[in-house]
Chains A and B, each alone.
Chain A
Amino acid sequence: MSTATKPSLKIPEARARAYDVESLRAQFPILSRTVHGKPLVYLDNANTTQKPRVVIDADRRYYEEENANIHRGTHWLSEKATEAYEGGRAKVARFLGAASPKEIVFTRGTTEAINLVASSFSQAFLKAGDEILITGLEHHSNIVPWQLACERTGARLVVVPITDDGEVPVDEFEKRLTPRTKLAAVSHVSNALGTINPVKQFIALAHARNVPVLVDGAQAAPHLPIDVTDLDCDFYAVSAHKMYGPTGIGALYGREEWLEKLPPYQGGGDMIASVTFEKTTYNVLPWKFEAGTANIAGGIGFGVAVDWLSGVGLPAVAEHEHELLVDATGKLSVIPGLTIVGRAKEKAAVISFVLENVHPHDIGTILDREGIAIRTGQHCAQPVMDRFGIPATARASFGLYNTREEVDALVAGLAKVSEMFG
């Protein structure tokens, strides 16, 4: 395990200014705190990211200065709140490269976005004998909604197997596109292994057979420049909290023609145009899919987060994180007994690993005492663990504010683990 993975990312040579990680860190209040008396080393970014001051301030400002319900008031505050919330939607649309804000449905997160499509799509278009295609890399949130849809309709879930390196081969994906395939749902970046899937190729192959594609972008959007128009995907799901934004808010990008075709997901206020006991007509996009009072502060904060992230610059973020990935991969690979699980050629800055004779949970506890936060367990991807015949892994995942010094802290922490269990 001594060869470092060297994923290649296409990054523009020239950048406007040098990447200043210290000034970025200074914008995250939590990064200056200590845990168990040690400086916090936060390497659990695939789980959730920390929030910059601007996002925290936006939340407080909304409640202190503009709080009112949206889309319903004739008063000034309601207009301000509506403007800010819809402004958030426009920012997310721009960030993802959507043609229009009406292609952005606010959800509680990626999970709800996928459930929305699985529920509405299966209701309208899925029948017994049809197939939904997913990959062996998926998070439970891109498996279970489709299993539920299959149970309701009699359709079948087809899974593209992954390789020993944790990649989804394009030809294996293509092989499983059949005349019965009604939709493909694939992750852009694997949360468990970090693999970057060739989703653009998947989409082209699926579209050649008129199969729509949903991309689970939860792990990609914080790390890579995303352009749904360029990808040509039909649906793209993201969570704000993994993108330096608030929890409890996310977005579903849906191609307009698809969102028009899908029936509503939940019924209630705001998603209707007119209601009588005989017949209800639905609101226009995107509000057709947003029943009830929304997470208004969340939508506003999400907008602030993506604007902030764009300001930092995704190409620069990708380059910085890639440097950390190469550094950490090299340093972890030479630790005796350590095996990195998932060695795809194209990887985001996620390192899943196991240590001989030490359970990941024990690694997690010992690192925690050093102030180092990682995730341990199955990462909501039990089939991925089963594929590699392991019960769990330890996972270090990097964000735009992590440093090489923190990679070294991780290495030093792992030495303490080996010392205790040696």
Chain B
Amino acid sequence: MTDLRDLYQEVILDHNKSPHNYREMADASRIALGHNPLCGDKMKLYVRIEGDRIADVAFQGSGCAISKASASIMTDTIKGKTLAEAEALYGKFHDLVTGPPDVKADGAGLGKLAVFSGVREFPARVKCATLPWHTLEMALKSANEVAKTE
């Protein structure tokens, strides 16, 4: 049987309590709104892009521990990365949380993001973990200033 602590690791609970990069950004070049209508999670993601690099990224909103910690650790991780690097991380993260529950997750190359390896054992929570990433993708791909995702 899977343990709840596989999902709610200490790092995740800490980021939920005191999320990093949780603020408004006045000079964002992209803003995207992420929304999970099923659970009511709402997330506003601010990105400042300089050249091909994510110079700054921040978020605000309401969500569960998983989505909040995911946003917190995601913003920590991608700050300073190139757009291509961020895109590659998204792919790896997606595989990490959506892989088959009976196969042990491989967190190689994901750094701190590997704490979400337990999510795949909780299918109802996968969308919580991926919401910030979907929102990031919308922000990066959108030509508009405000992009929305559901």
Contacts and interface: CB of A to CB of B under 8 A. Distances in A.
Nearest to A385: B40
Interface stretch (A65-73, A79-87, A362-370): A362-370
Contacts of B64: 359-362
Interface in A343-395: 357-362, 364-366, 369, 376-378, 382, 385, 391-392
A421 interface: yes
A420 interface: yes
A17 interface: no
Interface string A239-265: 000000000000000000000000000
A317 B128 CA distance: 38
Interface string B107-150: 00000000000000010110010000000000000000000000
Interface residues of A, number: 21
A360 B1 contact: no
Contacts of B8: 362, 420
Which of B39, B66, B68 counts the most A-chain CB atoms under 10 A from its CB? B39
B65 interface: yes
Contact of B40 (A357, A365, A378): A378
A359 B65 contact: yes
Which of A358, A362, A378, A382 counts the most B-chain CB atoms under 10 A from its CB? A362
Contacts of B68: 359
A36 interface: yes
Contact of A377 (B4, B16, B39, B66): B39
A362 B39 contact: no
Given A359-B65, A365-B7, A36 B40 contact: no
A37 B40 contact: no
A309 B84 CA distance: 61
Interface of A: 36-37, 357-362, 364-366, 369, 376-378, 382, 385, 391-392, 420-421
Enumerate the 6 nearest inter-chain pairs by beta-carbon distance, A residue then B residue, closest first.
Answer: A359-B64, A391-B40, A392-B40, A361-B64, A377-B39, A391-B62
Given A360-B39, A360-B64, A391-B63, 19 more contacts: A37-B1, A358-B65, A359-B62, A359-B68, A361-B39, A361-B41, A361-B128, A365-B4, A365-B122, A365-B125, A366-B4, A377-B38, A378-B38, A382-B37, A391-B42, A392-B39, A420-B13, A421-B13, A421-B65
8 contacts: A36-B1, A359-B65, A359-B68, A361-B39, A361-B128, A362-B64, A382-B37, A391-B63
